[in-house]
Amino acid sequence: MNHPISSRPTTLPDLCILCGEADAVSKEHVYAAWIGRIHKFGAIKAHYQKTSATGTTKTTEDNFLDKTLPVLCDACNTRWGSDLQDAASAILKPLIKGGEWPALSRKKLHAIAMWATSFAMVREYMYPELVTFEQEKRTRFRKEETIPEGINVWMGAYDGTRDLLTWHRAMFDGFDTGVSQPNTALFVFTIYKVIFVVFSTSSVELASPYSTRNYMLGRCAHAHNLRRVWPNEGIFPAGRPLPVESVENLMPELYDQLAGDAKWLLDRG
């Protein structure tokens, strides 16, 4: 089935992507300022790839610490967003610096999952035609501070060489009919000594924890020593897990668990 990706919007929205209100939109950093302050060498260059539907790949060098997207209003960015960043950074800073991993309560896991979900919601607007989060889901996330159904978050230790790496793939899940936009996305990103995986879907079949593909994705993450952050009832033991050393080896395996008979729409990194 061919989907009209060429007809999807390629420009950024005029409304705030979280609250959905037509307030003055401010520029949101893809990587928050506190992440840049951790790195003692200052800003670093990151490479990301953009692969078109025809298979042409362009590699671009960019400073992700300076990368901004005008997608949030001032209230969501500097007020609500600052509280979200502060809650997550207090937990993540020691891990990102390579310190010991403590046992984490459900409250702390929720704070990390909120932050990771927010990162994914902003990150996907680097390519507006591949946006998967529905506005209703983003607004409920903002106003109720609840993780939307269909969100899975993992994190693990990372000892690779790509200090700031972010990959995003989107697809139309073939089990849902009448879908007018990509409805499933996978985000993989590293921040110094920690790697995160965010899986998001509005597909009824994929969102179910009892679906085969959802189960296989979790098994694959576990095989790479990634620990589930969300959904989680508070089971997160102390101790730094064995680190992931190659994101390039991890990502294709994660993608393969979900694709099934469907193909990932575009490879975006």
pLDDT in tens, 38-62: 765 444 454 454 444 444 444 455 5
Bigger pLDDT: 261 vs 72: 72
* pLDDT over threshold 90, residue 254: no
Can you give the length of the chain in residues? 269
Neighbour count for residue 64 (Cβ, 10 Å): 21
Q: Which two tokens stand for residue 21?
A: 């209100």
Does 95 have pLDDT greater than 90?
yes
What is the Cα–Cα distance from 63 to 164, expressed in whole angstroms?
Answer: 9
Q: What is the pLDDT of residue 39?
A: 64
Residue 28 belongs to what H/E stretch? strand 25-29
Task: Please give the residue range of the domain that contains residue 108.
Answer: 5-268
Beta bridge partners of 228: 154
Question: CA-CA distance, 123 to 102, in Å (whole number)?
Answer: 28
Query: In the chain, pLDDT over 90 holds for what percent of residues?
Result: 39
pTM for the model stands at 0.84
| Residue matched to tokens 């692969």 | 51
pLDDT number for residue 57: 45
- Per-range mean pLDDT, top range of 8-12, 41-45, 65-69, 214-218: 214-218
Per the structure, how many domains does the chain have?
1
pLDDT of 61: 54
Cα–Cα distance for residue pair 61/188, rounded to 1 Å: 18
Instruction: Name which of 17-26, 44-53, 93-102, 186-195 the model is least confident about.
Output: 44-53
Contact 193, 98 (CB under 8 A): yes
C-beta atoms surrounding 221 within 10 Å: 23
- Is residue 124 over pLDDT 70? yes
Mean pLDDT of the chain: 80
Q: DSSP label at 158?
A: B
Q: pLDDT (tens digit, 9 = 90+) per residue, 77-86?
A: 888 999 999 9
The DSSP secondary structure of 161-185, one letter per residue, reads S-SEEEEEEEE--TTSSS--S--EE
- Least confidently predicted of 3-17, 23-37, 75-89, 210-224: 3-17
Judge contact between 197 and 187, C-beta under 8 A.
yes
| DSSP tag of 129 | G
159-189 per-position pLDDT tens digit: 987 778 888 888 877 555 555 678 888 999 9
The burial of 150, by beta-carbon neighbours within 10 Å (0-12 exposed, 13-18 middle, 19 or more buried), is given as buried
The whole-number average pLDDT for the span 139-151 is 92
Q: Is residue 161 within 8 Å of 140, Cβ to Cβ? A: no
| Residue 10 binned pLDDT confidence (cut-offs 50, 70, 90) | low
pLDDT tens digits along 218-237:
999 999 999 999 999 888 99
Does the structure show a pLDDT above 90 at 213? Answer: no
Least confident of 78-82, 99-103, 202-206: 202-206
Judged against a pLDDT cut of 90, whether residue 111 lies above it is answered with: yes
CA distance 28 to 81: 10
**Residue 267 pLDDT > 50:** no
